[in-house]
Structure 1
C-alpha cells in the first residue's frame, strides 16, 4: 500500500461512537454510602433517572450483599475491580464488570456534582462496541502513526507492513521494502543475526530483544537501536508473524559509554606518583574509545616541581610534550615527540585554550587550517594528511594552577566533538590533572628528600685495616617514597671499627631528617667508645626525646620510631660485639662457604623506652663476611620474610670475585626491579681482617715510677723493628706522659700497647675508671702539661672505658715520616 498523505486520508476519519459519553455508566458515592452523582450512562444501565437515585443509599442498587473479601478490599485498597450483581429499576438482575476508585476529598472525577468529601467513584463500561470495521481502522491508524518504528514480518520473514517512523528511519518507503528480508533491506552482520532471532521467535512463540548498530540513512555516524521482536499469534495461538519494534537508544548507549570511560579513567589514571606515567594513562584511556589521537603537553616548569605562575602563560607558549597516543601504530600524526619542548603557535587550539583558560572545540575546516598553516605548517600538513576534522583542547588545571593542556583529535571517528564530549573530556582531564599535580608535588618533595638523604649518608667509606667494606643504598620507588634507612662505618680507637645499619619508620622528608639526627647521634656516641648495648640505650633515650618534640609540635608523622644494629670489630683480638634494637639479624659468611644468621637478642625497637638491650660478643674468623641490611632487602608484600632470608643465605654462600660483586648479586636475587624497590634498601658488607703480632706490640708496665724509662726504651726498640725511627722522638714523649699518668693516677695492672696501622696508635691501659682531662697549667705549676703535649703532638687522642678500667690512646700520623 502506498501512503500519499496522513493516516486519516488513507483509512478514513476517526470512527464515530454512536453512544458518545453515554457509553459509560459513572456513579459517585460519598463516605456515608450515599449516591452523589449519576450519569446518563448509569440511567441507561439501571433505568433510574438522576432525581430518583441521587441522595439515596447506594447499597439499595445491589442485588446481593458483597462478600467479606470485597468489603475488606474496599476499606484498604485505593482501587477495586470485579463483577457485581445489580438490580435494575424494573426488578431484573444485572451482573456487570465494575471498577471502583477511592476518591480523595475535593477531587474532580467528572462523575457529576458531588460533595467533595471523598468516597468512591464507580465506572462501568456498557456492552455496546463499535463495529469491527471501526476497530480495524483504529488499529491501522495506531500502527501507522506510532512514534516507535514498527514493521511486520510474516512466517517467511518477509516484510508485510511498515509504519511511517520505520520508513523515515530506514530511508525507504513501505512499498519498496514490502516482501524483502531484513538482510535485504539493511545489509550488515547484525541483520543476519536479527533474522536468526526472528525465526526463533516464530518457533518458540517467546519474544526476544537485540541491540544493533546500523548505518542508517540520514544518521551521521553510528547509531544504536534496540529491536524488540514480538510474536503475533493467530486464533489458535500459533505465531503467524513477527512484529519488530525499533527504539533509538543511541543517547542512552553514549551515556553508558561515557560513564564507563569515566569509571575506567578513575581506575587507570593515577596508578603511580610518576608524572609522565599519569599523563600516559590519560592518553591510553582516551584512545581509541573517545579520540583517535591525544597529546598531553605541560609547561616546562611543571616537571621541575615548581609552581607555574598564576594566570595564563605568556605568549608565545612553550610546552613540553609529555605523552601522546594514537589509533595508528607508531603515532605518525605527531610532529613533536615526547620530551621535546616546543613553541606553540597562538592560533593553535592548545595555545588558545591556555590563553582563555577554558576548554574549546574546533572544526578543522579549510579556512581554519589556512589561518593555522602560517604559524605551524608541518602540523597543518599532518592534519590534512590524516584527515583530522575535529579537535578538542582542555586546560590541565589543579589547585587553581594551570599545568598544561590536553588535546583530543578525531579522524577515524566520523562524529565531530559535541558539547557532551567536551564535558566528558573535562572530567577525564580533571582527574588526570589532580594526579599530575600530586606527582609533580611528590617529585619535588622526593628530590628534596633524596638530596637531604644523600647529604646525610656517608659519601665515601673510610679506609682502615680492620675490615674491607662494600655498601649499597637504594631509595624506594616514587610510589613508596624516600625512607629513613642508613648505614655507616665509623673508625674507633685501637684500629677498631663500628658498623651501623638503621631504619627510621616512615617515608618522606621527616624520615630523612630523623635519619640524619640519629646517624649523627650514633657517631657522637661512638666517639665516646660506648659498648653496643649502652650505645643503643642512649640512642633509645634520644628517640624518645625526638618523639616528644614531634608530639609537642603536632607533627603529622605521629612521632619517630626506628630500628638499629650496632657492631664493633677489633682486628687485634678478632672479637666482634653486636647489639640490635628490633633490627633484622646480620648474616655471617665464613671463608669455607658456610653461612649463618647470628643469634643476637632482638631487643625492642628504638623509642619504646624502659627495656634493656643485650650485646653478644663472638670471635670472627679472618676473611669472613659480615652482612648488615635493612628489612627492605628481604621483606616484600608478595614474599615471606623467611623466603627472603633463605635467598640471602644462598647468594652469600656462592663465591664472588669481590665484595662489590657480591653486593650486586644480592640485589639482583632479592629485588625484582632494583631500579624501583618497594622500600628503601641499605646493605653493608664487611670482610674481616686481623692485625697479627707483626703489627701489635704489648708490654706489662710495673706500677713504679722507674718503669717509665723502660717503657720508652721498649717503644723505641719496636719502632726500630718497624722502620719508624723518625717517629721515635714524638713517640717517646707520648709514651712517657701516658705511662707516667697511669702510674701516678691510675691503678694496676698497667699495660702499654703499640699498634701499627695506617697510623701509629699508642695505648696505655690501667685498672682505674677515672678519665683524665686537659687543663690549663699556671706558670708556677710544675706539672699538668702532659696531656696538652700529647694533644699537640698527635693527630688525635682520647680515652675509653673497659670492663677492667680505662685505656688512654693517642694516634700519631705516619705520613710525615
Structure 2
C-alpha cells in the first residue's frame, strides 16, 4: 500500500501526462476532433465548442507545420501510437510547443479513434530529466540507494546495492532492514533508520562496518547518509539511504593515520628494547591482533650484527589483544632460536618479507612452532618483515591476525615494511648509542681508581654512581693519593660534558693530578697547574676544529685537599666545586668555608687554599654536584639532607656512605655522582720524633746519634745503619748549601720516613759524580739506600724525605 501510494503521488504531482494534468483530445479516424477536456482549453485557449467536429489540422496546426504533422500521423497509423513534440496553434494565434502522446483506440462497434494526451514541452522535458535521474539512481549510479518503509522493511534498492551485496535487487523487496548483515551490523542499521523516522532529521556521512552473513571474513566499510521521505503534508513515508563502499579509502586513511602516529610514538628514546616495544604497540590493534619484535642478541648488546645472520634472537617487544600463547611461555629478554624452515628464519637469513595471507589450521604445528613464537592457535594470517637499517638486518617483526576476520593483503605488507624501516633506523641509532655508551663506560671504568691505596692518614668509603638517563657518561672522578710524610691527598672532580670525550678528559686530568701530587705541591698550586692544562686542551680542540672559536667546551671543577695525620691539619682549595662537609667527632656537620675559586679552564684567576685543624675521627665528605644538584631537589635542601646524613660519625664508614646515597640519590639519577667520605686518623706521638739541629759541622754526627737511639727505641735496629747514612747526608747538605738550621723528623707508620727540612728553596738534584769530584755523591747514596725519596716545598722552605720498608735491612 505504501509503495502504491507513493506511485500515485508521484504520478499526480510529477507526471505531466497524468489524467488531471494532461490536455486530452480524441480524434476520429478522419482526423476530426470528437473529444476535448478542460485542461486542453486552459493550455490552448480553444473552448470545446470551437474545436469539436472540426478537423484537427485546420484548427490546431499551422500550415507551415503540416508536412511534419502528416509524417507523424503516418508513423502513428503504422505503429498504432506515437510520442513527440509538435507546435500547436493557440486561440490567440501563437504557437505552443506541446509534448504529445497518441494511441489508437478501437471502440466496441469497430470504429477506430485516436487518443491524444499533451502537455507543455517544457514540463515534459523537465519530467523526462527527472525520470532519467531516477532511472540513473536505480540502474547506473555507483552509489548504493536503499529505500526503507516506516515498518522497517525494504521497498527498493538500486543496482549498486546488488553489486555490493551480490544479491539481486528484486529479492530485497519486503525484507526487513539489515537483512543479509551479521547481527551486530544489522542492529546498528535498524537503529539508524529508526532514529531518522522518529526524529525526522537526516544523518549524513556516518561510517558503518559491514559484514555479510555469507562472507563474515570480509570486513567492509560503508559511508551512509540517511534522510526521511515525506508527503506534502509532512507525513514520513520512509527513509532513503545513500550507501557508498569506502573500504579501500578507509583503509588507506587508517594506514596514513598509523604512519603519522608511528612518527611520534616510535623512537622516543635511545633504547633499542623500548623502541621495539613501541613498534609492537603501534601495530596492535590498528594493523594486527598480535605483534612481536625480535632483535638479534648482538643488537641488544650494542654490537654490530653479522650479515645474513639467522639467530639467536631476543624477544624485546610484544603486544596483542586476547592472545593465548601455545606451549611454554617465553618472557621478553630470553634468547630463542627459530627453526630453519620458519618464516622468521627465512626473513632473517634473506632480508626479505614474508606474507602468509591464509594459514591452514594446522600450520603452527606443521612448522614446529609450539612453544616458540606462535601467539595463539587461532591465527589465520601472518606477516614477517625484517628490521633492516644501513644494510644490516637487526631482527624481525612478526604480525598475526586471529580476531580480525579479514586476512593480510599486499597493502598491509607495504605498511608493515614502512613502519619496520622507520623503527629499524631508530633501533640502529639506539644500538650505536649503546655501543658508544659501553665504550665510554669501559674507558671511564679503566680510568677511575679500582682500589684505595694503603695509607695511614684516613679511612675511606667511596661511591661512584653513573647517570641512568643522561645521554652519555659524565667525567666525574675521585682519588686517594698517598703523599710523603704519611700525608694523603683527597681529590674529587667533574669534567664538563658527557661521553667518550668527557671520559678521556677526565683521564688526562686525573693523570695530571697524580703527577702534580707527586711533586708535593700546595693545593692552590695544583689547581693552577690543572687550569693551565685545561686551557691547553681547549686550545687543542679549537686548533683541530672540534669546537667554535671562543666557545667553552673543555672545562672542569675540582676539589683538592691534603690531610696530615701528624699535625691533624687539612689544607684544601677548590675550583668551582661544591665545598666539602666536615663532621666533628661529636656529630656537628657544617660546610668547610673555602674560597670558591673559578672553574678550571677560565684562566687568569688565582686559587686560594685554606688550612683547618681536624680532630681525630672527623668526617671529611667530598662529592660532585650530581649529589645535591638533582632537578627534583633544591641545592640548599640537598646540602641540609647531606649534613643530616653525616651527623653520626661513629657509625661504620660504609654504612654512613650508604646512608648518604639512600637519602639523596634517586632510583634513576640524571647526573653522575662521585662521593668520597674520609674519617681522619692521627699518628701517635710515640710514632713521630723530631729534632732541631743547628747549622754547624757536628750536626751530622748528632743526627746519626739521635736516629740510632730512636730506632732502637722503636725496635728497628736493622734499619739503623741505612737511616743513619741517610740522615747524615741530608743534614750535611743543609749545612753546606742551605746555611740555616735543619729539622730532622722520623715517622714510623707503614714505612719508616726520614725527613730533613730547612729554610732554603734551592732544589737538590741527583747527579753522577766523576772520580775527581770531591762531592756530589750524597744524594746518589741516599737514592740507593731509600725505597723512595723526593722533595716538597712549603712557604717556609723545603723538605727532603725518604721512605724505607719496615721489614728489611740494607744489604
Q: Distance in 2 between matches of 1:654 and 1:177?
A: 93
Question: Match of 2:663?
Answer: 669
Question: Match of 1:777?
Answer: 769
Among 376, 398, 401, the alignment partner of 1:407 is 398
Question: Match of 1:149?
Answer: 144
Among 565, 568, 577, the alignment partner of 2:571 is 577
Q: 1:378 to 1:359 in 2, by over 3 A?
A: closer
Alignment of 1:603-642 (within 5 A): 603-642=597-636
Question: Match of 1:509?
Answer: 500
- 1:213 aligned counterpart, secondary structure: strand
TM-score by length of 1: 0.77
Among 770, 788, 792, the alignment partner of 1:796 is 788
- 1:129 aligned counterpart, secondary structure: helix
Tell me the matched-pair count.
Answer: 695
Alignment of 1:460-475 (within 5 A): 460-475=451-466
Residue 704 (structure 2) pairs with residue 736 (structure 1) = no
Q: Distance in 1 between matches of 2:185 and 2:681?
A: 81
Question: Match of 1:31?
Answer: none
Question: Match of 2:779?
Answer: 787
Compare 502-511 and 225-234 and name the one that shifted more.
225-234
Q: Answer yes or no: is the 8 Å Cα contact 2:326–2:370 preserved in 1.
A: no
Q: Distance in 2 between matches of 1:184 and 1:332?
A: 36
Q: Distance in 2 between matches of 1:639 and 1:259?
A: 44
Query: What is the CA-CA distance between 1:635 and the residue it aligns to?
Result: 2.3
Among 343, 356, 362, the alignment partner of 1:362 is 356
Compare 239-248 and 505-514 and name the one that shifted more.
239-248
- 1:812 aligned counterpart, secondary structure: strand
Q: Distance in 2 between matches of 1:198 and 1:457?
A: 78
Question: Match of 2:798?
Answer: 806
Among 349, 352, 361, the alignment partner of 2:346 is 352
Q: Distance in 2 between matches of 1:285 and 1:401?
A: 23
Residue 753 (structure 2) pairs with residue 761 (structure 1) = yes
Residue 385 (structure 2) pairs with residue 394 (structure 1) = yes
Question: Match of 2:581?
Answer: 587
Question: Match of 1:63?
Answer: none
Q: What CA deviation, in whole Å up to 9, does each residue of 1:216-247 have, x standing for no partner?
A: 34463433333323344543567664433333
Compare 237-246 and 792-801 and name the one that shifted more.
237-246
Q: 1:579 to 1:221 in 2, by over 3 A?
A: farther
Q: Distance in 2 between matches of 1:190 and 1:788?
A: 107
Give RMSD over aligned pairs: 3.6
Question: Match of 1:320?
Answer: 313
Structure 1 residues without counterparts, runs of 5 or longer: 18-89, 93-125
Q: Answer yes or no: is the 8 Å Cα contact 1:769–1:806 preserved in 2.
A: yes
Alignment of 1:682-697 (within 5 A): 682-697=674-689
Compare 150-159 and 507-516 and name the one that shifted more.
150-159
Question: Match of 1:253?
Answer: 250
Among 261, 280, 293, the alignment partner of 1:264 is 261
Question: Match of 2:740?
Answer: 748
Q: Answer yes or no: is the 8 Å Cα contact 1:591–1:624 preserved in 2.
A: yes
Question: Match of 1:86?
Answer: none
Q: Distance in 2 between matches of 1:353 and 1:368?
A: 21
Residue 697 (structure 2) pairs with residue 705 (structure 1) = yes
Question: Match of 1:524?
Answer: 515
Alignment of 1:193-232 (within 5 A): 195=191, 199=195, 202-203=198-199, 205=201, 207-217=203-213, 218=215, 220-232=217-229
Among 385, 389, 413, the alignment partner of 1:422 is 413
Q: 1:666 to 1:249 in 2, by over 3 A?
A: farther
- 2:545 aligned counterpart, secondary structure: coil
- 2:316 aligned counterpart, secondary structure: strand
Q: Distance in 2 between matches of 1:330 and 1:772?
A: 83
Q: Answer yes or no: is the 8 Å Cα contact 1:205–1:238 preserved in 2.
A: no
Question: Match of 2:106?
Answer: none
Q: 1:471 to 1:405 in 2, by over 3 A?
A: same
Q: 1:652 to 1:209 in 2, by over 3 A?
A: farther
Alignment of 1:413-492 (within 5 A): 413-477=404-468, 480-492=471-483
Q: Distance in 2 between matches of 1:293 and 1:629?
A: 49
Q: Distance in 2 between matches of 1:574 and 1:329?
A: 70
Query: What is the CA-CA distance between 1:591 and the residue it aligns to?
Result: 2.5
Structure 2 residues without counterparts, runs of 5 or longer: 18-91, 95-119
Residue 646 (structure 2) pairs with residue 652 (structure 1) = yes
Q: Distance in 2 between matches of 1:446 and 1:577?
A: 37
Q: What CA deviation, in whole Å up to 9, does each residue of 1:721-749 have, x standing for no partner?
A: 32322222222111111111112211434
Question: Match of 2:292?
Answer: 295
Q: 1:261 to 1:816 in 2, by over 3 A?
A: farther
Query: What is the CA-CA distance between 1:702 and the residue it aligns to?
Result: 1.4
Q: 1:766 to 1:204 in 2, by over 3 A?
A: farther
Q: Distance in 1 between matches of 2:228 and 2:648?
A: 78
Q: Answer yes or no: is the 8 Å Cα contact 1:157–1:195 preserved in 2.
A: no
Q: Distance in 2 between matches of 1:640 and 1:229?
A: 63
Q: Answer yes or no: is the 8 Å Cα contact 1:270–1:278 preserved in 2.
A: yes
Q: Distance in 1 between matches of 2:476 and 2:746?
A: 37
Q: 1:219 to 1:137 in 2, by over 3 A?
A: farther
Query: What is the CA-CA distance between 1:182 and the residue it aligns to?
Result: 5.4
Compare 641-650 and 594-603 and name the one that shifted more.
641-650
Question: Match of 1:554?
Answer: 545
Q: 1:616 to 1:280 in 2, by over 3 A?
A: same
Q: What CA deviation, in whole Å up to 9, does each residue of 1:792-817 have, x standing for no partner?
A: 11111111111111111111211226
Query: What is the CA-CA distance between 1:580 and the residue it aligns to?
Result: 1.4
TM-score by length of 2: 0.78
Query: What is the CA-CA distance between 1:451 and the residue it aligns to?
Result: 1.8
Q: 1:177 to 1:507 in 2, by over 3 A?
A: farther
Alignment of 1:47-86 (within 5 A): none
Q: 1:187 to 1:135 in 2, by over 3 A?
A: farther
Q: 1:633 to 1:251 in 2, by over 3 A?
A: farther
